[in-house]
Amino acid sequence: MNIIATDRSSLESDIHIEHFPNGLTLLYEHMPWLRSVAFTLLTGSGTVYEPAGLEGLAGVSLEMVQRGAGQLSSREIVERLDFLGVERSSTVTTCHSIFSAAMLPQSLPESLAIYGEIVQRPHLREDDLEDARRVAQQEVRAIQDDVAMRSSIELKRFRYQEPYGRSAQGRLEGIERIELNDVVNFVQEHFSAAGAILAVAGNYNWEQLRHEVVSGFGTWQSRIQPEDPAVIIRSGSQHIVEESAQTYLALAFRSVPYHHPEYYLSRGLLSILGDGMSSRLFSEVREKRGLVYAISANHFTLRDTGSILCFAGSTAGRARETLDVTLATISSLGEGIDPSELVRMKNRMKMNLVLEPESGMSRSAQMASDWYYLGRVQSPREILSEVEHLTCDALIEHFQRHPPTAWTLVSIGEEQVELPYGI
Amino acid sequence: MEFRHCRLPNGLEIAAEIAPQALSLGLGYFVRTGSRDEAQEVNGVSHFLEHMVFKGTERRTAEQINRELDDLGSLANAYTSEELTVYHITVLPENQDRAVELLTDMMRPALRAEDVETERQVILEEIAMYDDQPPYGAIEHCMENFFNTHPLSQRILGTPESVQALTSEQLRDYHRQRYSPDNICLIATGCVDFDSLVEQAERLTSSWETANIHRQLHPPQVARKVQFLHRPSAAQQYLVELGLGPARTDPARYACRVLASMLGDESGSRMFWELVDNGLADTAAIFTQEFQECGLVGSFMICSPDDLEINWQRFRDVVHSCPMVPFQDQELVQAKNKIRSSLVLGSERPSDRLFSVGHAWTLLARNEPLDEVLDAYAKVTLDDVYAVFQNWSEQPRVIVVAGPRTEFEIEGIYP
């Protein structure tokens, strides 16, 4: 039953794009129905660019740039942003450092000016390095205690190896080795306007925004960005012994990357597999057998390679069955798609598209990500058209052309499980 | 934004905050029942019922419910707390009728014995999952010690033993008493057709029987206590401390949240500068939680096991030094701006507003428009903050510490 109407004005986009001579790209989507505005700033300073042996440098550098910049001390940056009521976060991913912020529109000019200072004129003082190192070490230890989170980090480490498998938190020994010079060099080289993306979405004025970005980021220096190294995927199983009530399974297999012409076919299959309460994994693993409380499947993309990642946790003695049922359920996608599954999948995906304009934060993140992977911003209308065109036959044919391969399994807990022979 | 409400003859309350320009519609049944309403022998029954509501009715199987929820493209979920069980769904306005019909049918679950057994396994997995997660049950243990014989001491999920022992009959009895229409509110936010909502709800719930159930409220008796939960393999030490704070209805709750932000917000607070920014601790936070007859002011610290005493001493010094290092106007303004901005940003979607409107209507029997709440924060003064601080600092505390350590090595550190 197709009950998500899509003749909506919210699906039309009012997008502005500007390329600055220094290499920065500014993206803006006007969303006048919101009371707020949000931005996402990507710089090419992810973990993949850390020198070997300094795993954690990207995170420590991100911490250091926010400890004083331009005329502002570390304390003044925090106090000004708090005073302005800016909700914010900063994270490191494989390829980027990401600054995210949401606020009332009147706070945008000063917030942009502060972030302009952070990426261009950070103080990077020796006195702050020990504190930044300690903060990073705390995060590594916190992850050590979170077994479910660790399963996803260990999966990435095992599957993508060096340098793509590095974790955002780094390693204790890598963090210990970091000197101020390493931070200064990393920041100079990678917090560069070249390839940087600033995506803004919400209730603001384009001309005014443009003016503020010119004044805050117009003189940002550009450095030639390094070539991305090749991705090498490792298949196989790894078990990590841990005294935990559940055994955590993290499973991966090859899929198409985000820019692939068949991405939405893959996304549609993933939705049938793992989105919503009628999805095959939720239904087979949890609802029919009660093997897990939570099971999820999502798409992970690098520029030229994609994977589907599945996560589940079961108490000892049940992990083997959870793995077997999960593998059988994934493979069942090739045996046929029920037309009702197709309709539900479309409705879920369309609903997400229709509601995306309710949040400037998620829209700005999506725009930045689109620009990085596709070199353009997709409108909800464009994605909708892709989704509308999906058919059961096309999904099955895609599965046959791109069957699950290059399997990786990482398990953490008391029950050792491995991928079956031949997979 | 228009607020409308009505009470049906069977006692069901319906309330809506209507924003005709919104893209979506948030709908929720807020049932005035939670772990505090459970007899000890059925601890976990509210949460078990929450799971069972998705497992089928007389007219629908579990599979049909899941498929219909996905057919609507809906974002649907449920949660159980000490005081409420909430079932919520976000849909497009044109699907209001379907969503109301489905959610209303779900409120009368079939509770089939075979489904109870499968779901019991799912809940035992859920308990095991949380047991593995930091802070390893420290918050639940702290609540148990703090509230002692008071009903708020009970665990929301129950224990593996209590969940194992629950029977279909006990689930049915509890449902009969607690899911009475006069104990439930139907809340809607966003692009709502209110007249249609009332007409449909009245028609669909006309056969619901009323049980006239009431919740007993009485203040807790708190005695100082410290407990260590030994988790030898943990990399970090986790400390939770609870003290009494203002209740959900207490006007001092706004000043209390401002105090918590000034002292223990995750950024820019006194704890942040003393313990987190310099990496001495992973977390050093102060939070508040409110119930109907009382509230909590909680402290939460995560750090290396070796630094437990020195960091906890610093934490306490920050708190105790408040009278000597007076709060500045700038700290007050900063905290208020942060809270107010966060409220506005967190209220843009109808699905976000649903919880604020639902909590206020179900537990306070009143509408709390966003602007009224923003105004209440704007009016908080430093005198209000000091009054709350004074009260809090005189309350007995309960501490639970989880991780490799089994005791404090410094005597004076006990509360």
For residue A82, the model assigns a pLDDT of 94
Residue from the list A35, A85, A277 with its beta carbon closest to the beta carbon of B70:
A277
For residue B256, the model assigns a pLDDT of 98
Determine the Cα–Cα distance for residues A62 and A132; give it in Å rounded to an integer. Answer: 9
For residue B7, the model assigns a pLDDT of 97
Greatest Cα pair distance in chain B? 66
- For chain A, count helices (H), then strands (E): 15, 11
| DSSP structure class, residue A249 | E
- Angle between helical axes of A339-355 and B62-71 (0-180°, round to 10): 50
For residue A421, the model assigns a pLDDT of 86
Residues in A touching B98 (Cβ below 8 Å) = 3
Least confident of A325-334, A345-354, B49-58, B353-362: A345-354
* Confidence category of residue B44, pLDDT binned at 50, 70, 90: very high
pLDDT of A232 > 90? The answer is yes
Who contacts B328 (Cβ-Cβ below 8 Å, separation ≥6)? none
- Note the pLDDT tens digit of each residue in A105-158: 999 999 999 999 999 999 999 999 999 999 999 999 999 999 999 999 999 999
- Note the pLDDT tens digit of each residue in B319-358: 999 888 999 999 999 999 999 999 999 998 999 999 999 9
Q: Is B57 left (phi over 0), alpha (psi -120 to 50) or beta?
A: beta
Closest residue in A to B338 (Cα–Cα): A85
- A238 bridge partner residues: A410
Question: pTM, whole model, 2 decimals?
Answer: 0.95
Name the residue with tokens 């499947």.
A297
- A46 bridge partner residues: none
For residue B412, the model assigns a pLDDT of 60
For residue A223, the model assigns a pLDDT of 87
- Say if B236 is an interface residue toward chain A (CB within 8 Å): yes
Residues in B touching A242 (Cβ below 8 Å) = 233
Residues in B touching A352 (Cβ below 8 Å) = 73
Instruction: Tell me the average pLDDT across B358-384.
Output: 96
For residue A6, the model assigns a pLDDT of 62
Closest residue in A to B19 (Cα–Cα): A33
- Note the pLDDT tens digit of each residue in A260-275: 999 999 999 999 999 9
Residues in B touching A340 (Cβ below 8 Å) = 67
Instruction: Please give the share of chain A, as a percent, with pLDDT higher than 70.
Output: 97
The whole-angstrom distance between B73's CA and the closest CA on chain A is 4
Residue from the list B119, B335, B349 with its beta carbon closest to the beta carbon of A290:
B119
pLDDT of B142 > 80? The answer is yes
- Note the pLDDT tens digit of each residue in B303-320: 999 999 999 999 999 999
Determine the Cα–Cα distance for residues B365 and B354; give it in Å rounded to an integer. Answer: 15
Mean pLDDT, chain B, whole residue set: 95
Determine the Cα–Cα distance for residues A151 and A105; give it in Å rounded to an integer. Answer: 40
CA distances from A158 to A163, A251, A409, B232, B391 (A): 11, 11, 9, 27, 53
CB interface of A with B, residues 212-271, below 8 Å = 242-246
CA distances from A235 to A181, A241, A400, A409, B296 (A): 37, 20, 20, 8, 50
- Say if A278 is an interface residue toward chain B (CB within 8 Å): yes
Determine the Cα–Cα distance for residues B115 and A164; give it in Å rounded to an integer. Answer: 44
For residue A77, the model assigns a pLDDT of 98
For residue A8, the model assigns a pLDDT of 62
CA-wise closest residue to A186 among A61, A14, A20, A297: A61
The whole-angstrom distance between B7's CA and the closest CA on chain A is 31
pLDDT of A10 > 70? The answer is no
For residue A419, the model assigns a pLDDT of 96
Determine the Cα–Cα distance for residues A120 and A193; give it in Å rounded to an integer. Answer: 9
CB interface of B with A, residues 91-130, below 8 Å = 91-92, 94-95, 98, 117-126, 128-129
pLDDT of A5 > 70? The answer is no
For residue B45, the model assigns a pLDDT of 98
Who contacts B204 (Cβ-Cβ below 8 Å, separation ≥6)? B100, B101, B104, B105
For residue B1, the model assigns a pLDDT of 85
User: Is the CB of A291 less than 8 angstroms away from the CB of B125?
Assistant: yes
User: Is the CB of A351 less than 8 angstroms away from the CB of B70?
Assistant: no
Instruction: Tell me the average pLDDT across A374-391.
Output: 92
CB interface of B with A, residues 316-345, below 8 Å = 330, 333-335, 337-338, 340-342, 344-345
pLDDT of B409 > 60? The answer is yes
Cβ pairs A/B, distance under 8 A: 197
- Note the pLDDT tens digit of each residue in A183-223: 999 999 999 999 999 999 999 999 999 999 999 999 999 98
Mean pLDDT, chain A, whole residue set: 95
Full DSSP string of B191-228: S--HHHHHHHHHHHTTTPPP--------------EEEE
pLDDT of A90 > 90? The answer is yes
Question: Alpha-carbon torsion B329, B330, B331, B333, what sign?
Answer: positive
CB interface of A with B, residues 380-419, below 8 Å = none
Residue from the list B24, B95, B119 with its beta carbon closest to the beta carbon of A358:
B24
pLDDT of A22 > 80? The answer is yes
Determine the Cα–Cα distance for residues A310 and A269; give it in Å rounded to an integer. Answer: 14
- Say if B279 is an interface residue toward chain A (CB within 8 Å): yes
Residues in B touching A290 (Cβ below 8 Å) = 117-122, 125
Residues in B touching A74 (Cβ below 8 Å) = 277
pLDDT of B181 > 60? The answer is yes
Least confident of A130-134, B191-195, B209-213, B267-271: B209-213
Mapped onto helix, strand or coil, the DSSP state of residue A100 is: strand
Residues in B touching A292 (Cβ below 8 Å) = 122, 125
pLDDT of A7 > 70? The answer is no
- Note the pLDDT tens digit of each residue in B184-195: 999 999 999 999
For residue B413, the model assigns a pLDDT of 61
For residue A346, the model assigns a pLDDT of 93
In this structure, the number of other CB atoms found within 10 A of the CB of residue B376 comes to 15
CB interface of B with A, residues 160-199, below 8 Å = none
For residue A201, the model assigns a pLDDT of 97
Residues in A touching B279 (Cβ below 8 Å) = 130-138
